[in-house]
Amino acid sequence: MTITTPSTAGAARVELAIGGMTCASCAARVEKKLNRMDGVEATVNYATEKAEIVYGAGIAVADLIATVEATGYTATPPAPARVADDADAQTAGAGDAGDELRPLRERLITSVVLAVPVIALAMVPALQFEYWQWLSLTLAAPVVVHGAWPFHRAAWKNARHGAATMDTLISLGTSAAFLWSLWALFFGTAGMPGMRHGFELTVARGDGAGNIYLEAAAGVTAFILAGRYFEARSKRRAGAALKALLELGAKEVTVLRAGRETLIRTEDLAVGDRFVVRPGEKIATDGTVVEGTSAVDASMLTGESVPLEVGPGDAVTGATINAGGRLVVEAGRVGADTQLARMARLVEDAQNGKAAAQRLADRVSAVFVPVVIALALGTLGAWLAAGAGWTAAFTAAVAVLIIACPCALGLATPTALLVGTGRGAQLGILIKGPEVLETTRGVDTIVLDKTGTVTTGRMTLLAVHTADGEDEHEVLRLAGALEHASEHPIARAVATGAATAVGALPVPRDFAGVPGLGVRGVVDGHAVLVGRRKLLAEQAIGLPAALESALAEAEALGRTAVTVAWDGAARAVLEVADAVKPTSAEAVRRLRALGLTPILLTGDNETVARAVAAEVGIDEVIAEVMPEDKVDVVKRLQAEGRSVAMVGDGVNDAAALAQADLGLAMGTGTDAAIEAGDLTLVRGDLRTAADAIRLSRKTLATIKSNLFWAFAYNVAALPLAAAGLLNPMIAGAAMAFSSVFVVGNSLRLRRYTPAH
């Protein structure tokens, strides 16, 4: 069933899955056809293979599907996403993904195994035995017919609609090489016993009836299939961000019904149901606390580094983690209405809205293919007009088509991407695909999420201010011992810092938590209080002037101030905050050196954000931004004419990462953020973001130079082919030399060294 949603007045919106597209020009053609319909606005994304369509009254979804099918492609409503259970996840991981690539992988393996001996026989005269050409035909035929079938099918489809793409060039070149070889073998002299491809590098008019080009047909097919396989493997992950977001939520929930606790699936939860959330569990859905108090860790969802204290009447969000006591929550929103589901829709909308990256080879071939075809026909006509025979005319014309299909073109992108991504993996940089590289050159603004990206993402004890005459070691020993018994994230920060500084901590007695204020207990005979200032005020304990000043200064910097008292006197103020990573300031300097303007974006409050920005050298700050608003911030910057890169690590960053022109996900973050990003920074060091952009730009430059030379060698040989002066050795040498050059040029990326 197709589900449409209202858009503007009198309009509806539908999403269709488009099948059969082989390149970016296919997506452009489908989009053009749809937009020609009255009242239709369509965006077709080649990467996600989806069409987002807004259509007016009088148009049915069936009409849209019929238009796509008339263009030569398939269109179906995509299956609705849902939270998969473990069994589903295992089935999907082992089945669908593998089955999707299996035909292409099998086609590639078959083509490579058969093509290698064909190329070796043609290029190494010592291997050419008496009937080697017939063995080459036997091996090359399955490659050209079966291996190259996707290219032939796409070329025919494109031809029916008056279009020419890389598939057209591949199909024409391989078919011309193979068919001419068949003619030369059966009707020419190439099939005679003892025929050889020699090493004479002479430019002379030869007899085309004695030449075969089976190595060109088989080699080009194998090389291009390899590139398509790696591309398909990358594209398979296009929807992983949505799956990661949906799987973030709790799968089961304990509901209270008739006074009893019952375990049910989260998707069966209804509005008004009351459910239990124990310490460490995820909150199943958006709702309101009706019983209990606790600290809720929402950093993965909202970016807020400080845990949120909640009690009866406070709202909580699904997928956040209960870090403290037992809560009873009344469900307020379920299913598609929850904040998590809305964020999943934002990610999907952002992915669908991104302009499809036009393949460099397709852009060139859009002009190159028609020119080559026209040149081949012109060559045929010119030779016939000059009075030459049909054999000489067809020899020259077919030679033009053969030399115009360089095997180096199949190596240009895959080899540079393979070497570049391999070097990146060594440096902790994962590049998802060649289309990512195109955006790195034009990026001029980089938006940095604060929590977990610029900062460590966890609460840390940063400073200890003691009252006159107090020993810092003793303060940490007593406060750390008491906080060690608490599950609160701030308490854990104090306990960890204390244990690091003083070693083993004593065990407290009579420990008790004071909801929303702190903890109390007895440590080594001292009655100790650790928590908010109000906790001390309730015991009529005031702060000395020095501690008052330290507390005010900490709060001015946006840090959490924790007071410590024992035996009726205030002893210290501890500063706890999300610490800035030691490499962040240097990373910001390197990003500026690349011509990028850094912006700090966070859900934290303005004071905290400004303090962090000042510490790392960022001038522009956008704070107190809700997760769904981060996408709007990126869109606003793009509307100002900026090309935006985004660095983030949390679920709250996933939609913005997908919307940005270039998304860089910290590998220390959530799966949703990593899958939504274009580049993954495995090490969690922000300096790697600068390295990733530099490496991507170098890889893109290498791909462009590879493509240039892949075309240049063969374009240079086109006049020789048109003049009938092309012999097999020159063709083979040009092809081999261009391939060696492309591979050697790509291997230079292995020497890339980060600035640090």
Residues belonging to the active site: 449
Phi, psi of 570 (to 5 degrees): -75, 130
Reduced to 3 states (helix: H, G, I; strand: E, B; else coil), residue 253 is strand
Burial 213-234 (b: 16+ CB within 10 A, else e): bbbbbbbbbbbbbbbbbbbeeb
Torsion of Cα atoms, 599 then 600 then 603 then 605, to 10°: -120
In sequence order, the 6+-apart residues with CB closer than 8 A to the CB of 312 are: 289, 290, 291, 292, 293
Q: What are phi and psi of 31, to 5 degrees?
A: -60, -40
φ, ψ of residue 4 in degrees (nearest 5) = -110, 155
Beta pairing, strands 286-291 & 327-333: antiparallel
Q: Is 374 exposed, middle or buried (0-12, 13-18, 19+ CB in 10 A)?
A: exposed
Give the type of residue at 397.
A
* Residues 687 and 664: beta-carbon distance below 8 Å: no
Please choose, from the candidates 608, 569, 564, the residue with its C-alpha nearest in 3D space to the C-alpha of residue 459: 608
3-state secondary structure at position 96? helix
496 CB-near residues (< 8 Å, 6+ apart): 460, 461
- The residues facing 646 across adjacent strands are 447, 663
335 Ramachandran zone, left/alpha/beta (phi>0; psi -120 to 50): left
- If one counts every other C-beta atom within 10 angstroms of the C-beta of residue 57, the result is 8
d(CA 723, CA 392): 10
Cα-to-chain-centroid distance, residue 530: 44
Instruction: Say if CB 427 and CB 695 are below 8 A apart.
Output: yes
Taking the mean position of all CA atoms in its chain, how far away is CA 65? 29
Cα distance between residue 666 and residue 663, in whole Å: 10
Distance CA 302, CA 294 (A): 18
Cβ within 8 Å of residue 240, ≥6 positions away: 671, 675
Rounded to the nearest 10°, the torsion over CA 730, 732, 737, 742 is 140
**Can you say how many angstroms the Cα of residue 751 is from the centroid of all Cα atoms in its chain?**
25
